[in-house]
Chains A and B, each alone.
Chain A
């Protein structure tokens, strides 16, 4: 691991050694059932044994496949990976919610884990009552909660409703209050899962600030997020999990870039085959998708497929779909982000009246003038009918290599100008009459 030479084992806040968790596929169904099912299972097993055959081994998957790493005291470790890569399983084991199948982890310090905002909130209880209940569930002492009560209420901005049952809260108020409690937990190790995905932008900033503060105080933070800019701005190092294994562990920015571009360094720049299972690894097939994204192509003004554009170039996005239904309604979102995960803009089709028959179809969208400065960008794609259909994060990557023509501004070569290329017109320099400011009209 890139954690450097281990100076003294005692320095690490967390040591993970060969930690693994196996789930039996279909286990949920069997175990969730009733005694009758368990009994019939028993009979089936007995029959198999009686016939001298081994019991058919149920398939199992390693949700977490023997990972080993250390987290230093005071370090903020980001954890990224596709859905099903084992991020949440790892956090659940480290928070002692579930037990590992193999391996071990050593944790030095009080752990506060926040896998969901508002865990243990009860709708019928007031904000005040929930602060105490939630705080106690998260491991705070009563006196500690009393001491921080005012601070929590202030942070959450719900003073006026503190004695109202939280089921009457708006979802924003609910989240603010819930995060406020968790943010004031003072654990030595804070484990956070995707809580930043909720709340409005202002509140997200507040949370990020609070977490920065937390890590600034020398506390160790483990942070799972799909929000790559949150990871790059908060984390010092980043752990990339892929199918339960460690794919990479290193400086946050590098790991995030590697993650975002993974699998998309296709032989043909500007084209990605989205039916490639490589891209869909770990994406749970919870529902039968009726409309699937099959390919994405980037075209320049000459209708040539390319992965490199200049500022203000025309760009055409050509999306290949396959439908298994007759669809009347389709909505497509193309989210353009920087390689660090900062969302720059979204091309949103809105709900379109369409007439799609089962089979493949294509949809294009034109951006007449690409408002992006030099850098690498990623596109996330989302397709919806009345239901969410398909989404592929990091479907394709492309590069903007700066303005067309000679680059006379050396700053163009560095990243000092921001992300967006704004259309602008500068007036001529006008000579003004030199007179005291006070007399000016």
Chain B
């Protein structure tokens, strides 16, 4: 409970004092507040598509449009990939998991500023506020996966047992999204510049994460190759795609590097969030 540096003694004795540099991640408290995470997520879901004409269909339109545009771009306008071959599923699988990540981060980064009324009036573990958009985005992901599997089938891809591997990669994507989302959300409280940085940052990140190209096509020398794979989302897209479409097995070393990158992002983001949490109510 670094925010107000309450130290829980026993179950219900709280000491409130100025926090030191020590950061307590407050995991116990987070666990106790899991029901609140559920309700915040439900709220995010119910509210997200209110007063939109297409509603949750947007969750499907986005990746499909990405697929269409990328396919036209890379098979017709340029000839980087062969038309008719497996490019469309490649672009689609990449887009689905990428959009899950990108939407999570976008919503998480605005979550604190968007709920200032809550933050200045009631105490609850603030991290939940940044984490709930990520959990809510899972529902969109589920829906777009449904459509993705249909399109894949149309291209003759029927994932086998290997498909269970999507889950660890999904977890890695969530961890990365929570880390980056928490970091941006905390930064956004102080600097509203974040709002302008996020779309730009995500676009660059997408280019670096093999979303619309195959990482097989990436031939880099060290240290650039390690740097490429230290990007957790490169590992996520690669692993996710392999689980769904097959092809050459991703190198264990690369996956390990990406996982390490994801954990670093998660811990760094959450620690930064907890350190800044104490001033949220004063400046948001």
The answer to the question of B175 belonging to the interface, with a C-beta cut-off of 8 Å to chain A, is no
Task: From the candidates B13, B16, B122, name the one contacting A137 in the complex (CB within 8 A).
Answer: B122
Contacts of A23 in B (CB 8 A): 282
Q: A97-B281, A136-B35 are in contact. Are A106 and B121 (CB under 8 A)?
A: no
B4 at the interface (CB under 8 A from A): yes
A136 engages B39 (CB within 8 Å): yes
A34 x B192 contact (CB < 8 A): yes
Give CA–CA (A105, B17) in the complex, Å.
7
A20-62, CB under 8 A of B: which get 1 and which 0? 0001000110011111101000000000000000000000000
In chain B, positions 110-142 with a C-beta closer than 8 Å to chain A are 117-124
Cross-chain contact of A97 among B19, B120, B193, B283 (Cβ < 8 A): B120
B6 touches A96 (CB 8 A): yes
Q: Are B43 and A28 in contact (CB under 8 A)?
A: no
A119-B19 Cα distance, complex, nearest whole Å? 26
A110, A122, A138, most chain B CB atoms within 10 A: A122
A97-B39 in contact (CB<8A): no
* A34 with B121, Cβ < 8 A, contacts A96-B16, A100-B16, A136-B35 known: no
Given contacts A93-B16, A136-B39, contact A31 B193 (CB under 8 A): no
Q: Is the interface of B mostly helix, strand, loop or mixed?
A: mixed
Given contacts A102-B18, A133-B43, contact A97 B35 (CB under 8 A): no
**Complex Cα–Cα for A32 and B4 (A):** 21
A115 at the interface (CB under 8 A from B): yes
A142 proximity list for chain B (CB < 8 A): 35, 38-39
| Interface contact A96-B14, CB-CB below 8 Å | yes
Cβ-based interface call for A125 (8 A): yes
Q: How far is the CA of A398 from the CA of B39 in the complex (A)?
A: 54
What is the predominant secondary structure among interface residues of chain A facing chain B? Answer: mixed
B1-40 interface with A by 8 A CB criterion = 1, 3-6, 12-19, 35-36, 38-40
Interface residues on B, range: 35 or more
Contact between A111 and B14 (Cβ–Cβ < 8 Å)? Answer: yes
Q: Is the Cβ of B15 less than 8 Å from the Cβ of A104?
A: yes
Beta-carbon contact of A27 and B283 below 8 Å: yes
Known: A119-B117, A136-B39, A137-B36. A105 touches B283 (CB 8 A): no
Residue on B with the closest CB to A95?
B123
Q: Which of B16, B278, B282 has a CB less than 8 Å from the CB of A107? A: B16
Contact A99 B191 (CB under 8 A): no
Q: Which residue of A lies closest to B4 (CB)?
A: A96
Instruction: Tell whether, in the assembled complex, residue B193 and residue A113 are in contact, meaning their CB atoms are under 8 Å apart.
Output: no
- Asked whether B46 is an interface residue with its Cβ less than 8 Å from the other chain, the reply is yes
**Closest Cβ–Cβ distance, residue B107 to chain A (whole Å):** 15
Q: Identify which of residues 228-284 in chain B touch chain A, using a CB-to-CB cut-off of 8 Å.
A: 278-279, 281-283
Interfacial chain B residues near A103, Cβ < 8 Å: 17
Interface assignment of B47: CB less than 8 Å from any CB of chain A: yes
Task: Determine if B283 and A137 form an interchain contact, defined as CB atoms under 8 angstroms apart.
Answer: no
In the assembled complex, B50 has its CB within 8 A of some CB on chain A: yes
A306 vs chain B, min Cβ distance (A): 46
Residues of A within 8 A of B (CB): 19, 23, 27-28, 31-36, 38, 92-111, 113, 115-116, 119-120, 122, 124-125, 129, 132-133, 136-139, 141-142, 188
Residues of B within 8 A of A (CB): 1, 3-6, 12-19, 35-36, 38-40, 42-43, 46-47, 50, 117-124, 190-193, 278-279, 281-283
Would you list the 5 A-B pairs with minimal beta carbon distance, nearest first? A104-B17, A96-B4, A96-B123, A136-B39, A99-B278
